[in-house]
Amino acid sequence: MQVTAVGLNTEWGLLMASISEDNNEETPLQVRLNGVATFIGIVGLVVAAMVLVVLFARYFTGHTTNPDGTVQFVKGHTGVKSTIFGVIKILTVAVTIVVVAVPEGLPLAVTLTLAYSMRKMMADKALVRRLSACETMGSATTICSDKTGTLTLNQMTVVRSIVGAIELQPQATIEKLSPTVTSLVLEAIAQNTSGSVFEPEDGSTVEVTGSPTEKAILSWGLELHMKFALERSKSAIIHVSPFNSEKKRGGVAVIGRDSNVHVHWKGAAEIVLALCTNWLDVDGSTHEMTPDKANHFRKYIEDMAEQSLRCVAFAYRNLDPKDIPYEEQRINWELPDNDLTLIGIVGMKDPCRPGVRDAVELCTNSGVKVRMVTGDNLQTARAIALECGILTDPQASAPVIIEGKVFRAYSDAEREAVADKISVMGRSSPNDKLLLVKALKKNGHVVAVTGDGTNDAPALHEADIGLSMGIQGTEVAKESSDIIILDDNFASVVKVVRWGRSVYANIQKFIQFQLTVNVAALIINVVAAISSGNVPLNAVQLLWVNLIMDTLGALALATEPPTDQLMKRTPVGRRENLL
């Protein structure tokens, strides 16, 4: 073994560097509040300057009178001290007008609303990691959602399987298969996996661990009477090529007791099938993969995909032991993936979560576009999207439903042009999700992204609001997100949108309430100052009313719960004004 890179030069280092960068981007609410504050400040300064000029003109021309009717300033008869006090009084009135014009309680109202919403969202299975994320979600115009575990239950089960060109029925044994085929099938299941099977000696329930896909395949192996520990002991692993999200497959090289070396590959069915030049029959014989036979297997895959099944293929090839590098040279060894022999194909079902279709429909009716980004092939993605309500047209084609590699090949301008039309992206890599997020943001969308894997971290970090999964999500994904969905359910994402809109609505109510009070006080003082040179409300009175009204109004309006009417509004996005 040798070290080839450390620190930021490793893939992990590059990933952590990309998600630790702070782009200092303001949230949609901050942008609008800054605009409102700037506008109010300008209005206050203009009015104060106008009042200052008028009061100075009235004072120094002898038009300002005392309560007893005497003139406050008479040229040649008014002392310096009295003049200074008169000027200070006028300046105080002008400054007070500026202070009254600006709603000082707004930061308090915003903070109270966000904090209250954050606490209440915990009851709706959403843990807020960044306070401003509460309101950002209310401005979301699109949600890019994963499929597995978010839209579906993440409980994969093998429901169809093809081995040796024949389809095995559910719960079928391996009696139809020859010992050679049986050995290869069980070896592929037991060795080419990141999961494990624990078989208690007391005969209690067998425990299967690993990712949902691995657990489904291992459970299928148990149905085929596989003894996991025994199969593992029959051969030794020489080298592992972990599953790659770009290549959509993973492999392992094993050597048996008879010194035969097998390289097993497992991955996306149509991708593995394309690498096969032979196929294995039930009697153990090997036949050439002719175009007709390849189309036959491809038809199986398409049929499974139309039933919303995830298709995984198994293939292998023999390897001459002389071609195996020495142990110290295997670190950079690429397992051969050509001239493979197809062993079998399995179709796994991951049913949609209850209530997902209603949640998607609610988002659609409220103006939030839901897009599904998945690693499954287009047929499976289409079937799930139709079941969830993301797609309504079974015959939809590109760019509504698009493959990741096609989107990836576009230029930046082309990606921005088609991004708005995309509803489903199949066979996508984590980088494709990141490119989609960037394109949507450039088009003016406020983008929410769900993710659970380490590779999803850049997209979660880039999005306006990142939502990681609390159950299946990795620690890296959670650290990169703004909100953690504790039950991994898309319906909880919709509840977060509801609370976000409540934050926005409460702040709107506060500003309308506060400006009504401030404008009324401002008009009274301005009119009185211009007409008589005096103000009915002095500085202390104005500040007292302003601060007390701000505080109590913030407390009352910040804690209003969300209503169903909020989801009937269209999202505010980035471009609209707060008022």
- What is the distance in angstroms between the CA of the first residue and the CA of the last residue of the chain? 63
Instruction: Give catalytic residue positions.
Output: 146
Strand order across the 142-145 sheet:
126-128, 483-485, 465-469, 447-451, 142-145, 369-373, 424-426, 401-403
What DSSP assignment string belongs to 96-163? HHHHHHS-TTHHHHHHHHHHHHHHHHGGGTEEESSTTHHHHHHT--EEEE-STTTTB----EEEEEEE
Helix (H, G, I), strand (E, B) or coil at 461: helix
Q: Where does residue 309 rank: exposed (0-12), middle (13-18), buried (19+ CB within 10 A)? A: buried
Tell me the backbone φ, ψ of residue 328, rounded to 5 degrees: -70, -15
**126-149 burial by CB neighbour count: b if 16+ within 10 A, else e?**
bebeeebbbbbbbbbbbbbbbbbb
CB-based contact 549:506 (threshold 8 Å): no
In the chain, count of helices (H) and strands (E)?
19, 19
Helix (H, G, I), strand (E, B) or coil at 207: strand
**246-285 burial by CB neighbour count: b if 16+ within 10 A, else e?**
eebbbbbbbbeeeeebbbbbbbbbbbbbebbeebbbeeee
* 3-state DSSP percent of the chain in helix, strand and coil, to 5: 50, 20, 30
Rg (CA), the chain: 34
Rounded-to-integer distance, Cα 269 and Cα 298, Å? 9
What DSSP assignment string belongs to 273-309? HHTEEEEE-TTS-EEE--HHHHHHHHHHHHHHHHTTE
Rounded-to-integer distance, Cα 291 and Cα 270, Å? 14
Residue that the structure tokens 């080298």 belong to? 239
